[in-house]
Amino acid sequence: MHSPDDTPRRPARGALSGVRILDMATVLAAPLGATLCADQGAEVVKLELPGGGDALRGLQPVKDGKALWWKIANRGKRGITLDVRQPAGRALLLRLVTQFDVLVENFRTGTLDRWGLDLATLHRANPRLVVVRLTGFGQTGPYKSRPGFARIFEAMSGFTNLTGEAGGSPLHSNFPVGDAVAGLFCAFSIASEMARLRGDPQALGCEVDLAATEALFRLLDPLPVEHEQLGTVRMPAGNCASYTAPSNMYRSRDGLYFSVVASSDPIFQRLCAAVDKPEWANDPRFASNPARVVNLVALDEGLGAWFAAHDYDTIERRLEDAGIPFSKIFTIADIEQDPHYRAREAIIRLPDPDYGSLPAPCAVPRVPGRELPIPRTGPDTGEHNAEVYGEFGLDAAALAALRAEKVI
């Protein structure tokens, strides 16, 4: 007899099982939203132009002519090709959407309308279709037709202005954070609308107007209120936080960088003892978080000097024993070897036809008792044309004719 802990884990249906998503977006933000839904059980079909051309296929990392980022970012999807700009392609898309719950697109505002695929036309084909339009600046407003990429969203949202050294140039991250945040809101939008439609069989579809700039700005809650009520314009502060202290990055004697956060008074008091400065706990300059923020320079100079005089092993042991939130600055090599990441299987292997398997982050979140199947890497251009179009009754002859006309 097996105990509960011995019971073999079986793949389960994800929370979005039964949801069908047609992803005709490009690059990263909107496709990421569809991928996150695929992680949770949605069936996603990736639609590309017959010749490919998605810019993500050309972004590094690329190996042997294979776009590795594409493979990971579009995991769990089937791939088809279709030129919706042609009348035959438009007609075929309108057949496709009758069998999908969600259409995801990220063309410049008005592009689908010009191709004869306006919202009214799409809803005549499928009244319950949710059309998620993820653009840089939304479907309305004076900037609605502007092009945009992640760094543009980050700059305009106010996010980039919070990075960098005080008095220096703002800094962009070496990763498109703006795209990733917009992708999260895309997945949230899809899940929200599916909950609405599942709760009411008579409910109609809708247009979701998702602006990537607004998605990133939405996370910056305190900026408007602190500006209005206090006259404060939050600016770059290096690795410090201007709202809590201590919260900074430090360097050990042996050259390792690490972050420490001791915002609450009890944690700060434990930190004082851990760094051999018990007198700081009763120093009026550091008695509360507001006082510590005011006296941030003196506090950080003291902490920085102590950390710089000790090797990281000693610092790690002291902070761990004292229950202080801290972490070494991890590289991907550190993540791969870290015992916590390894214990939680945070890196999974995706089956891949070219490389056997490829590493990727696990699905998030986890639901105990629900073991989701491991998805395959993203598809080659048009890899599943015969399979997907065959489900709509198109035989080999019909597909050959469409291929000859460069519709697929």
Alpha carbon separation from 21 to 44, 267, 303 (Å, rounded): 5, 46, 52
Q: How far is CA 185 from CA 58, 81, 169, 212, in A?
A: 25, 26, 29, 9
Contact between residue 314 and residue 275 where contact means Cβ atoms under 8 Å apart = no
Q: How far apart are CA 245 and CA 264, in angstroms?
A: 9
Asked whether the predicted pLDDT for residue 4 surpasses 60, the reply is no
Q: Are 125 and 97 in contact (CB under 8 A)?
A: yes
pLDDT tens per residue, range 258-292: 999 999 999 999 999 999 999 999 999 999 999 99
| Distance between CA atoms of residues 295 and 301, nearest Å | 10
Is pLDDT at 156 greater than 90 in this prediction? yes
> Which own/partner contact pairs does 140-145 have at CB distance under 8 Å and 24+ positions apart?
140/209, 144/109, 144/110, 145/108, 145/109, 145/110
10 SS3 class:
coil
247 has which bridge partners?
261
Peptide bond into 266 cis (omega under 30): no
Q: Is residue 52 very low, low, confident or very high in pLDDT (cuts 50, 70, 90)?
A: confident
Task: Give the pLDDT mean for 95-116.
Answer: 97
| pLDDT, position 368 | 94
The fourth-level CATH superfamily of domain 4-219+349-404 is Crotonobetainyl-coa:carnitine coa-transferase; domain 1 (3.40.50.10540)
Asked whether the predicted pLDDT for residue 142 surpasses 80, the reply is yes
208-247, pLDDT tens digit by residue?
Answer: 999 999 999 999 999 999 999 999 999 999 999 999 999 9
Q: In angstroms, what CA-CA distances link 364 with 12, 73, 129, 340?
A: 15, 14, 26, 16
Specify the pLDDT at position 8.
43
Domain ranges of the chain: 4-219+349-404, 247-328
CATH no., domain 247-328: 3.30.1540.10
Which one of the listed residues 54, 101, 179, 352 is annotated catalytic? 179
The pLDDT of residue 5 is above 70: no
Work out the pLDDT band at 51, boundaries 50, 70, 90.
confident
For 336, the 3-state DSSP assignment is helix
Q: Are 246 and 299 in contact (CB under 8 A)?
A: yes
Structure tokens given for 311: 């090797």
| Helices 150-157 and 177-198, packing angle to 10 deg | 90
321 is catalytic: no
Placement of tokens 């009411």 in the chain: 200
**Average pLDDT in the 6-19 region?**
72
Query: How do 206-211 and 247-251 pair as beta strands?
Result: unpaired
Average pLDDT, the chain: 95
303-362 pLDDT, tens digit each: 999 999 999 999 999 999 999 999 999 999 999 999 999 999 999 999 999 999 999 999
What is the reported pLDDT for 6? 40
